[in-house]
Structure 1
Amino acid sequence: MMNKQIKMIIKIKTHKRREIIDITDLVRENIKIRDGILFLFIPHTTTAITINEYEPNLIEDFYNLFERIMPTDYPYKHNLIDNNADAHLLASLFGHSIFIPVENNDLQLGTWQRVLFLEFDGPRERKIIIKHL
């Protein structure tokens, strides 16, 4: 029997230029399959999604990493167009999609793993596409 694929779009608002938001509970609330795989895709070129721990010191380390590898005040060529080159570059490094296994209507994440939405050019309203496979 073939499983029916379900596609959903959820929206979130960001409040800072660079922001890390734990969206694990939001993703869990939108599980529509008992067993399978969730595919999450971010349709924006200045945001990313990843899985990691959401611990305050680690989050601060992430922000420090962002600034070290992509300083906001560097003279990027793309900034001549719209002043957000660092956001595009960071998003490409972290990536725009993840897969998560689902069993018994729950995400199969490790003990400390959380789904993190990375905003690099906010504040904005953003979309997350969730596909149930």
Structure 2
Amino acid sequence: MTMITESIYLNTAKKCELINITPQIRDIIDKNNIECGLVNVSTKHTTSGILINEDESGLKEDIVNTLQEIIPYKNYLHDRIDNNARSHLMATITTPTQTLPIIDGRLSLGTWQSIFFLELDGPRLNREVIISIIEQ
């Protein structure tokens, strides 16, 4: 077994947004000629997440809007430090990592599935996503 680790760096433009990172992950798989294994996608930031869903603009807005409705603006204790408690709280109901199989050299996603970086405290520069591949 071999393990490969690479990083993707993203600049985000909005307070909350979903960025499709599927093409970058596929490029890493292709570049390393991975035929069979697992890919783990992980954010290094506590105000972000990694999601799998459909890349449709209305749905992406719905996801952001729903998170914002679930976690409303209010006077959170953490805001005394960084004024971003809401972003941290939204991240706790998402996930910082996703793991998917690679089968026959292809990332195993359903027809409508894409992998997204979920920004919850933007805009930010150089958001890092770690791509770790375990090749069989």
Structure 2 Cα separation of the partners of residues 67 and 47 of structure 1? 13
The CA deviation at 1:75 is 1.1
Q: Tell me the TM-score normalized by structure 2.
A: 0.91
Q: Distance in 2 between matches of 1:63 and 1:91?
A: 11
Q: Is it true that 1:106 corresponds to 2:109 in the alignment? A: no
- For residues 67-109 of structure 1, what are the alpha-carbon distances to aligned partners after superposition, in whole Å with 9 as ceiling and x for unaligned? 20112x3111111111101111111211110101101221100
Unaligned runs of 5+ in 2: none
- Aligned counterparts of 1:41 and 1:55: Cα–Cα separation in 2: 22
In the TM superposition, residue 65 of structure 1 has moved relative to its aligned partner by 0.3
TM-score between both structures, scaled by the size of structure 1: 0.93
The 5-angstrom pairing of residues 1-133 of structure 1 reads 3-31=1-29, 32=32, 33-71=34-72, 73-124=73-124, 125-133=126-134
The alignment partner of 2:66 has SS state of: helix
SS of residue matched to 2:112: coil
Unaligned 5+ runs, structure 1: none
The residue identity in structure 2 corresponding to 1:24 is T
> How big is the alpha-carbon RMSD for the aligned residues of Structure 1 and Structure 2?
1.0
Q: Percent identity?
A: 41
Find the aligned partners of 1:9 and 1:21 in 2 and give their Cα distance.
15
**What amino acid is the match of 2:102?**
V
